[in-house]
A and B are shown apart, each in its own frame.
Chain A
């Protein structure tokens, strides 16, 4: 969609205010750069300065490597590929041990990663995308639109996620990881949409939004230019939360054996360890339960750390203080301690 400023004026009335209404011309590239500075670079800097974001990104990078490079270089899981029932850390052939049918446990973990990543990416994008679309429109438009969209999200929110997914999984029996991700978040967006709506309710009274509105800028354009950038960090935080929900729910569904077993998943490994290897009662097979558990916990840890770290970016008070540009940073700190002392 490459359009120059001039023909967009001709074709699209929504652009009119920039050429006729404003005295200072701002080119698209300048605006892009400004957007990058304000909403990606600066928050990124603040986020990176947070230890949690750093650790979270590092762990996530390991999973991405595992899911892309690891899959190519490490052997695929197969029965009888190594000796049966090897304990972990015994042989390099199966560093994390093998199952009773001679499958390398590490191979199972690594080869389940790409599907998992795809699943949480699809689920996260779907959940946050729908939530942003519905939440901003409802909050900004108000009136009947708001009432309809809010009713819609209320209904979606009122259907309990897990049971619904289970029923749908039985009806559709999905095997594509991306589809499973979307299925899992089929009504997850609703709660997020509601909270985005309430944030937009305050944003729409902001002077610059009001200015755009008075100048007759179209609603989609106000949403994209004035509203969404403001809630973007919050959306990112919730992308990570949605992704974590996808991990938890998918593993749970695989563990229960509700999703088709054709896709590798850590939940399947748990299920096998639990049911076939008798990891519950026999101490010898405990590692088969622990290894996939660790895989689940670390990816969840990465996502939570990312969400928490980015939350700092979202919260302007914390952000200013962190970046050290607040004129009253010191004063605020002492005030807070005194408040703390006072209350405790």
Chain B
């Protein structure tokens, strides 16, 4: 039992280490090489050639003339202390940019994912109970229709209609200018006002498929023997629906929920570009365009870390929620 947790923790650490190594490798693969580009940029700015090596070191956490393993050790050890180098484009430490942007992205994505799961669970359960009815058919058709629209296409529509045509919602930024006091009610309302369209585009385009998944799970659970037995035992309806059906139908969606948050964090690159919402996705895109590699890799690492942690939590807690799940010790090899 405990060895499972140790192994799982080791696996999460291994994953992070491999991803860090991957980014280290990618930086070296990038066309033109970021170091070449940075050097050219610095020469253009008229920086004294003797100082260039030192500047590159602060930007990239690298001493380019050292052997590769020294560079690697430098890179990893500075990441460990939270130093992700300096952004070329914004001339600020990458960690400062991410620290400023990350809470906003997390706020939008976590809220959106929570809302869409709440909708999906209720809607899917209702569809399952009414399986075959008109309500089920129409709902299924609707949820399929909604999921044919990529979230960013729907986002563009929202910007066009509610932003530009009707002028009901802002089309860029996370708050109005001048909103400085983050503890005032005005600030919170303003922030929500800016976040509604991004959240809506995620919820509307993703709730349908999740509802269908919930519907499938519920139908399956309704057919299980233990539901039949529970009914024969004369248990109350509410007890059966909550303890037997709902619980077992939601279980498979639990891991999906945490993974979807991570997945949506990745999708923020497109979403925040459409809404000009300065979260980490927005900065990643700006970095991609400006070939600002330290910032690009910093955001990439942060999103990956978020996903690793989410899946890790899902794996650790899943066994607690569903005791039937084996913790990996019992499978024998053939």
Interface residues of chain A, those whose CB is within 8 Å of chain B, are 52, 140-146, 151, 154-155, 157-164, 166-168, 170-171, 173, 191, 201, 204, 213, 219, 247-248, 251-252, 255-256, 258, 270, 274, 279-281, 286, 289, 293, 296-298, 300-301, 304-305, 308, 311, 315, 317-318, 332, 335-336, 339-340, 342-344
Contact = CB atoms under 8 A, between A and B. Distances in A.
A154 B212 contact: no
Interface stretch (B25-33, B67-75, B95-103): B25-33
Interface in B156-188: 156-157, 159-160, 164
Contacts of B31: 170-171, 173
B333 A143 contact: yes
Contacts of A343: 129, 222, 237, 240-241, 245
B279 interface: no
Contact of B15 (A142, A158, A204): A158
A330 to B, nearest CB: 13
Given A140-B334, A142-B331, A171-B31, A158 B308 contact: yes
A304 B147 contact: yes
Interface of B: 11, 14-15, 18-19, 22, 26, 29-31, 126, 128-131, 140, 144-145, 147-150, 152-153, 156-157, 159-160, 164, 209, 212, 216, 219-220, 222-223, 227-228, 231, 237, 240-241, 245, 259, 262-263, 265-267, 269-270, 273, 284-285, 288, 291, 296-297, 299-300, 303-304, 307-308, 311, 331-334
28 contacts: A52-B144, A145-B333, A146-B331, A151-B14, A157-B259, A158-B15, A158-B19, A158-B307, A160-B262, A160-B300, A160-B303, A163-B266, A163-B299, A163-B303, A166-B269, A171-B30, A191-B259, A256-B269, A256-B285, A289-B156, A296-B150, A297-B153, A301-B148, A304-B209, A305-B144, A317-B220, A339-B231, A344-B126
A9 to B, nearest CB: 24
User: Chain B interface mostly helix, strand, loop or mixed?
Assistant: helix
A337 to B, nearest CB: 9
Given A280-B159, A339-B222, A343-B245, A308 B212 contact: yes
A213 B332 CA distance: 14
B334 A300 contact: no
Nearest to B157: A293
B159 A158 contact: no
Contacts of B164: 280-281
A332 B219 CA distance: 12
B272 to A, nearest CB: 11
Contacts, number: 166
A293 to B, nearest CB: 5
A94 to B, nearest CB: 23
B276 to A, nearest CB: 12
A141 B333 contact: yes
A305 B285 CA distance: 33
A342 B331 CA distance: 39
Given A143-B332, A304-B144, A342-B231, 11 more contacts: A155-B19, A158-B19, A160-B265, A163-B284, A163-B299, A167-B296, A252-B150, A256-B270, A297-B149, A305-B144, A332-B223
A166 B304 CA distance: 14
A160 B266 contact: yes
Nearest to B297: A167
Q: Which of A162, A171, A191, A281 has the most CB of B within 10 A?
A: A162
Nearest to B266: A160
Nearest to B291: A170
A80 to B, nearest CB: 28
